[in-house]
Amino acid sequence: MEYLDILLNASFWQAAIRIATPLIFGVLGALICERAGVLNLGIEGIFVVGAMSGWMAVWLGASLWGGVAVAAGCGALFGLVHGILTVPLGLSQHVSGLGITMFATAASYYTYRTALPDVTSPPRIEAFKPLDIPMLSDLPFIGEALFSQTAMTFLALFMVLAVAFVLYRTPLGLAIRAVGDNPAAVEAQGLSVYGLRIGAIMAGSALMALGGAFLTMSAFDAFFFGMINGRGWICIALVVFASWRPGKALLGALLFGAFDAFQIRLQNEVGAAVPSQVFLMVPYVLSIIALVLVARKADYPRALLQPYFPGQR
Amino acid sequence: MIRIEPRQNVSHLYAFFVPVLAAVAALGLAAIPLYAAGADISSAYVSMWKGAFGSAFAVSELLTRATPLILTGLAAAVAFKAKLWNIGAEGQLYVGALAAVAIGSGAINAPPAIMIPLVMLSGMLAGGLLMLVPTLMKTKLGADEVVTTLLLNFIILLFVQMMLEGPMKDPMGMGWPQSEPMSPEATLPKLFARMRVHWGLIIALGAALLLYIIMTRSVWGFEMRALGENVSAARHAGIPVTATYIKVGLISGAMAGLAGVSEVAGLKGYLTSDISPGFGYSGIVVAMLAGLSPIGVIVAAVFIAAVFVGADSMSRAMSVSNYIADLVVALSLLCVLISSVFVRYKIRFITPRLPKAAREKEI
């Protein structure tokens, strides 16, 4: 019965949505890149860049939304590098992505250490506060679970709608989906395959960086080494689970957040009987299970991983 | 108009110089972050060089660092050659080390001639079996091995921490989460007195040679390369695709597991959960710099080790963050990737004109 109590507690759902927020950004970002035909394994490093640059901007005196913009911009820049390497140069998307992750992570850590050579405890900023919406935040249950999140969570939820709208209701979205399925057809339409793919990677990378920025500017108020801890890789698994659809991506991230919040509470219930590491493994194990469950029937974008050179058959 | 054309045949000399140029470019680009940190650039490079090659002790440290990098580099090179994306060398290294201490810290007592091969085999088996899981998930269930191997790294590191805080914790370890020490019989001897470089280096060099022979001179090697070139063509040619993936996975995982054995049995003497500063990931850079050639891996591992050892001593001397080493390593990967374009393709500047037949008609 205690387990049911956990699920009926509003603070549990509040935690689930909070844990899901960076994943929503990350899965949406990975989804846009892959829909355009490019796997972006730079995601883990771009999360770090977003977390570091957004936090650093605010620490240096920018406003919170200024920090968000800086994070998105830095993410897009790393996306541009990945785009140039994988689209016109047609290099291995796996290796390039891993290279971007290593480069972005090292560059972020180096910048942080160079700017703050001898701090022992990470300096803090005034992070986003939970919104206090009149009426809505006072609603029983829903008010605590949903309407006392920070503004970035609402930005993430808005992005789900925005990405879904662009992908399925605009000519641009049609072109992005087409370039990931059949780039030759897109070229025949007189559209630029390179432009669409690089643009999609930059937009997706900006979203990934927002996921990182959420961690340092909303969930916590400081930057730590190793704080991303595989969240990017989890997003790569979740995007397959979500079959490259924004709505399912939201669902997947929320489900994941709920499982993670549940194991944290379970950990408190069970106490020291089970080693804490067993619980810490849960997110990674869940991601593998999610991937295996859908792997057989996964409908990958048809041109994923395949470089395309205009004018060549 | 610029046109990119595939090269018909790549000269060996050219293929060798391009990664060298990439490494030099990566080191050169490091001047930017060094400048940003306010360091004197020329003395920083001198300090790095001295730290890596300046004395017999420095070279010993360099080779000590290169040892696990050769093995994780081989793990990546073998797998990538067959286009099996094993990014899990970090986790396989840790299970290899865990198996080594499980067997070698007093569970079995035997003379070194038996203990050392036993410890090596158990580490290789552990690493290979760990890689078997994502390989089977790929071949039987169609789950992408990039994601599964990456996620397994996190799971294994937590598992190792759990073992070191629980059943495998050293009761004499003053409360630190570390394993019991390796028995003297299971320890790899040092190569020289008062130097840290150990027999793991010889084992790593032997493994590179063996893999070179397998890859270039055996049917297995042919099957693996065929898989990497084109899976469906390999299948049509009658190559057992699943069995070959499994072989590649086992060999790749075994190499990473051996890196873990070498670190605990040759260098550290016991296992902690921070035994690898990302050797598994740096191994990918080593393999790419080497052009996936087992012999090239040796050279590339020495280069990457020199970057780490040199940057370490430079950062101590000049108060530059030692993340500069990770930065150079990451830049090397990106540079070698970009330069591979010049190996495989030539870029020609041509003026567009009509085909010959059409031109003749016009006249």
Give the total number of structural domains in chain A: 1
Report pLDDT digits (tens) over B48-74: 999 999 999 999 999 999 999 999 999
Q: What is the CATH number of the domain that holds A100?
A: 1.10.3470
Q: What is the domain extent for residue A187? A: 2-117+135-295
In angstroms, what separates the C-alpha of B102 from chain A's closest C-alpha? 20
CB contact under 8 A, A102 and B330: yes
Model confidence pLDDT, tens digit, residues A12-40: 888 999 999 999 999 999 999 999 999 99
Which 33-52 residues of chain A touch chain B by CB within 8 A?
A: 41
Cα A168 from Cα A172, distance rounded (Å): 9
Looking at the predicted structure, is the pLDDT value of residue A105 above 90? yes
Residues of B in contact with A56 (CB under 8 A): none
Of residues B281, B324, B337, nearest to A110 (C-beta): B324
Query: Which chain B residue shows the shortest CA-CA distance from A282?
Result: B155
Q: Could you say which of B143, B153, B329 has the minimum Cβ distance to residue A292?
A: B143
Residue B162 is nearest to which of A233, A277, A287, comparing CB atoms?
Answer: A277
Residue of A nearest to B289 (CA): A95
pLDDT of residue A270: 80
Average pLDDT over residues A93-116: 95
Q: What's the rounded Cα separation, in Å, for the pair B217 and A69?
A: 55
Give the model's confidence band at A145: pLDDT under 50 very low, under 70 low, under 90 confident, else very high.
confident
Split at pLDDT 50, 70, 90, the class of B339 is: confident
Residue B293: the pLDDT is 94
Asked whether the beta carbons of B265 and B187 are under 8 A apart, the reply is yes
What pLDDT score was predicted for residue B2? 62
Q: Which of residues 220-239 of A touch B (CB under 8 A)?
A: 229-230, 233-234, 236-237
pLDDT over 90 (residue A142):
no
Domains in chain B (CATH in brackets) are 2-362 (1.10.3470)
Query: What integer is the mean pLDDT of B160-165?
Result: 94
Q: Does residue A194 form part of some domain? A: yes
Minimal Cβ distance to A110: which of B158, B162, B323: B323
- What pLDDT shows up at residue B167? 87
Cβ separation of B334 and A81 shorter than 8 Å?
Answer: yes
**A130 found inside a domain:** no
Q: Any chain B CB within 8 A of the CB of A89? A: yes
Could you read off the pLDDT of B252-271 as tens digits, one per residue?
A: 999 999 999 999 999 999 99
Instruction: Tell me the percentage of chain A whose pLDDT exceeds 90.
Output: 72
Q: Return the DSSP state at B63.
A: H
Nearest residue, CB atoms, B329 vs list A102, A275, A284: A102
Tell me the pLDDT of chain A averaged across its residues: 91
- B174 vs chain A: nearest CA distance in angstroms? 20
CA-to-CA distance for A281 and A260, rounded, in angstroms?
10
- B313 and B50 in contact (C-beta within 8 Å)? yes
Helix (H) or strand (E) holding B240: none
Tens digits of residue pLDDT in B297-331? 999 999 999 999 999 899 888 888 989 999 999 99
pLDDT in tens, B122-147: 999 999 999 999 999 999 999 999 99
Give the ranges where chain B is alpha helix by DSSP (H). 12-29, 31-36, 41-53, 56-81, 89-104, 112-136, 145-165, 200-217, 219-229, 231-236, 241-262, 279-289, 294-318, 323-344, 356-362
**Pick from B155, B327, B338: CB nearest A281:** B155
A301 assigned to some structural domain: no
Question: How far lies B21's CA from each of B24, B30, B300, B339, in Å?
Answer: 5, 14, 13, 8
Contact A103 B330 (CB under 8 A): yes
Domain assignment present for A311 = no
Model pLDDT for residues B196-225, shown as the tens digit of each residue:
999 999 999 999 999 999 999 999 999 999
- Which of B77, B79, B71, B74 lies closest to B97, judged by CA? B71
pLDDT digits (tens, 9 = 90+) for A76-103: 999 999 999 999 999 999 999 999 999 9
> Which residue, among B1, B3, B4, B2, has the nearest Cα to B342 in the 3D structure?
B4
Distances (CA, A) of B316 to A120, B59, B157, B320, B332: 18, 18, 29, 7, 22
A278 CB near a chain B CB, below 8 Å? yes
**Of A250, A249, A229, A241, which Cα lies nearest the Cα of A288?**
A241
- How many CB pairs (< 8 A) connect A and B? 127
List the beta strands (DSSP E) in chain A.
none
Tell me the pLDDT band of B354, cut-offs 50, 70 and 90: low
- Average pLDDT rounded to a whole number, residues A284-296: 90
* Radius of gyration of chain B from its Cα atoms, rounded to whole angstroms: 23
Can you spell out the DSSP letters for A33-60?
Answer: HHHTT---TTHHHHHHHHHHHHHHHHHT
**Residue B138, min C-alpha distance to chain A (Å):** 9
Task: Give the model's pLDDT for residue B362.
Answer: 52
Report, in angstroms and rounded to the nearest whole number, the Rg of chain A calculated over CA atoms. 20
B319: which chain A residues are within 8 Å (Cβ-Cβ)? 117
**Does residue A183 register a pLDDT over 60?**
yes
Q: Residue B98's CB: how many other CB atoms inside 10 A?
A: 27
Residue A197 in any domain: the answer is yes
Would you say residue A3 has pLDDT above 80?
no
Query: Per the domain annotation, does A235 fall within a domain?
Result: yes
Q: How far B326 CA lies from chain A's nearest CA (Å)?
A: 6
CB contact under 8 A, B159 and A277: yes
> Mutation test of the interface with chain A: which of B18, B98, B334, choosing the one with the most A Cβ atoms within 10 A?
B334
Per-residue pLDDT reduced to its tens digit, B73-125: 999 999 999 999 999 999 999 999 999 999 998 888 889 899 999 999 999 99
Contacts of A106 in chain B (CB under 8 A): 323, 326-327, 329-330
Beta-carbon separation of B338 and A106 below 8 A: no
CB contact under 8 A, A288 and B148: yes
Residue A41 counted as domain residue: yes
Give the 3-state secondary structure percentages of chain A, helix then strand then coil, rounded to 5.
Answer: 70, 0, 30
Best of B155, B322, B336, B342 to substitute, by most chain A Cβ atoms within 10 angstroms, is: B155
State yes or no: pLDDT of B358 exceeds 60: no
Tokens of A118: 């001898």
Residues from chain A that touch B4, judged by Cβ atoms under 8 A, are: 309
Q: What is the mean pLDDT of chain B?
A: 91
Closest by Cβ to B146, choosing from A94, A230, A275: A94
Instruction: Look at residue A159 and tell me if it is in a domain.
Output: yes
